[in-house]
């Protein structure tokens, strides 16, 4: 018998409004440029939300690990540049867009800042 688990993440008003209104304001979005061979990718590293509930680790090999407070296990998978941001794809096939802004990243309504 399978035991189904429901993810009951509760968003605050700000993340919900951000999602409803389309995420980061267009004037804050920057397009990541191509990285020259031998240069480090400027997005590689650890990103954290201000309230420390969301953590995203981007690796140079285009893998990632993401954790959200209250969830039993971290998501992990690969990422790739797409449009004005990144597209995360976890091991189950779930895709999550990440917008690149002047002051950090925006993922699922959460603002993430470099640690």
- Mean pLDDT score across all residues of the chain: 79
> Please, what are the domains in the chain?
39-114 (2.40.128.290)
What Cα–Cα distance (Å) separates residue 27 from each residue in 17, 24, 65, 90, 102? Answer: 18, 8, 28, 29, 9
Going by C-beta distance under 8 Å and a sequence separation of 6 or more, which residues neighbour residue 23?
Answer: 99, 106, 109
What Cα–Cα distance (Å) separates residue 78 from each residue in 1, 64, 82, 109? Answer: 31, 6, 13, 20
pLDDT mean over 76-81: 94
**What is the per-residue pLDDT across 20-46, written as a single tens digit (0 to 9) for each?**
545 544 444 444 555 556 666 789 999
């Amino acid at each position: 018998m399978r035991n189904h688990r429901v993810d009951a993440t509760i968003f605050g008003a700000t993340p919900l409004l951000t999602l409803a209104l389309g995420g980061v304001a267009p004037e804050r979005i920057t397009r990541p440029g191509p990285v020259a061979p031998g240069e480090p990718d400027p997005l590689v590293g650890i990103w954290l939300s201000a309230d420390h509930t969301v953590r995203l680790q981007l690796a140079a090999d285009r893998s990632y690990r993401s954790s959200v407070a209250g969830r039993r296990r971290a998501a992990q998978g690969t990422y790739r540049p797409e449009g004005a941001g990144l597209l995360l794809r976890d091991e189950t096939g779930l895709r999550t867009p990440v917008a690149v802004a002047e002051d950090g990243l925006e993922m699922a309504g959460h603002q993430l800042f470099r640690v």
